[in-house]
Amino acid sequence: MKVIIGPASKELATKIADLTDYEKIDVISKKFPDGEVYVRLGNNVKGENIAIVQTTSPPQNDNLLQLAFIASAAKLAGAKKIIAITPYLAYARQDKIFLQGENRSIETIGNILKSSGIDEIITVNIHQEEVLKRFTIPAKTLSAIPLIANYFKKRGYNEAFSLAPDKGARYIAGQAKKVLGGEFGHLEKHRDRYTGKLSVSKKSFNVKGKTAIIFDDIISTGGTIVKAAKILLDLGAARVFAACVHPLLIGDAEDRILDAGVEEVIGTDSVPSRFSKVSLSPLISQEIKAQESG
């Protein structure tokens, strides 16, 4: 197995190559003046099993296209098996036809990746796991929640209350609770498909005087976390943290979250940023090592 260092995930890919002891293949990349992307593999991949580590967080369209071009270059150069490791898989939230006339974007992305030569996809905490069953190549999602919960545990926040801001993320809070102990629960969230307006309904939890951690797959505008934090603080939580796998934090999201009373935002290097306090490298290395030996 050789690890291709995708331009969007240089640090994570390098850590994975170092942990697994697999050879690294660099990618020469540039953007033409008109915005088109260009990639070239820095080494030979003929006859090799290849893992391309390339997240598809914003600028997601460029990163997706780079991934497709890298895979296609590897295929043309004679790679044997091509695994795409895309910790954040863009467009995963458009997994249904919510309004007439839409498409299932994530399925279209799966088809594009397959046609570029990718044989298998590994992602992390995809928004809805079921969507991967509709992919026409094998696709698997790993969970980074135990790693994130361990990060909090090491900082002494055992017994914290783990909260999922909606039902879909309840499994996430459940996984966190297994590591942290304490209790867990979820809120009910509704987003208006036309206006985007978000409402989160209040529930009663026993958080008075406790530390509470809101766990979600993605933090984007921060709207969900702001509403969830308000509920926890109204219920008397002493301290509130926000944790996610994919810290997109668009625009002034961090300010809005901190203004709502959240102490700190923690994410992973799925989306490289200053919120990336937990690395996915052990999780992904273990998975590709197991695949290679099994």
Are the CB atoms for 182 and 160 separated by under 8 Å? yes
- Please report how close the Cβ of residue 240 comes to ligand R5P at its closest, in angstroms: 15
Does 95 bind ligand R5P (CB under 6 A)? Our answer is no
Gyration radius from the chain CA atoms: 20
Q: Which of residues 191-230 bind ligand R5P (CB under 6 A)?
A: 216-224
- What CA–CA distance (Å, rounded) separates 275 from 265? 6
Q: Annotated catalytic, 167?
A: no
- Given the complex with ligand R5P, which of 5 and 214 has the nearer CB atom? 214
- Please report how close the Cβ of residue 114 comes to ligand R5P at its closest, in angstroms: 25
Q: Which of residues 97-126 bind ligand R5P (CB under 6 A)?
A: none
Candidates 84-92, 108-116, 164-172, 261-269: pick the segment binding ligand R5P (CB under 6 A).
164-172
- What CA–CA distance (Å, rounded) separates 266 from 246? 9
- Please report how close the Cβ of residue 143 comes to ligand R5P at its closest, in angstroms: 14
- Given the complex with ligand R5P, which of 165 and 272 has the nearer CB atom? 165
124-143 footprint of ligand R5P as x/- string (CB under 6 A):
---x----------------
Number of chain residues interacting with ligand R5P (CB under 6 A): 14
Are the CB atoms for 53 and 20 separated by under 8 Å? no
Candidates 18-26, 50-58, 166-174, 272-280: pick the segment binding ligand R5P (CB under 6 A).
166-174
- Which is it for strands 37-41 and 27-31: parallel, antiparallel or unpaired? antiparallel
- Given the complex with ligand R5P, which of 39 and 124 has the nearer CB atom? 124
The string of DSSP letters for 236-254 reads: T-SEEEEEEEEE---TTHH
Q: Binder to ligand R5P among 169, 187, 214, 229 (CB under 6 A)? A: 169
Phi, psi of 288 (to 5 degrees): -75, -30
- Given the complex with ligand R5P, which of 176 and 218 has the nearer CB atom? 218
- What CA–CA distance (Å, rounded) separates 212 from 221? 21
- Given the complex with ligand R5P, which of 48 and 166 has the nearer CB atom? 166
The string of DSSP letters for 91-106 reads: TTT--S--STT---HH
For residue 225, how many C-alpha atoms fall within 13 Å in the half-sphere facing its CB?
Answer: 33
42 closest CA partner among 9, 11, 3? 3
- Please report how close the Cβ of residue 249 comes to ligand R5P at its closest, in angstroms: 8
Active site residues: 189
Chain residues binding ligand R5P by CB under 6 A are 127, 165-166, 168-169, 216-224
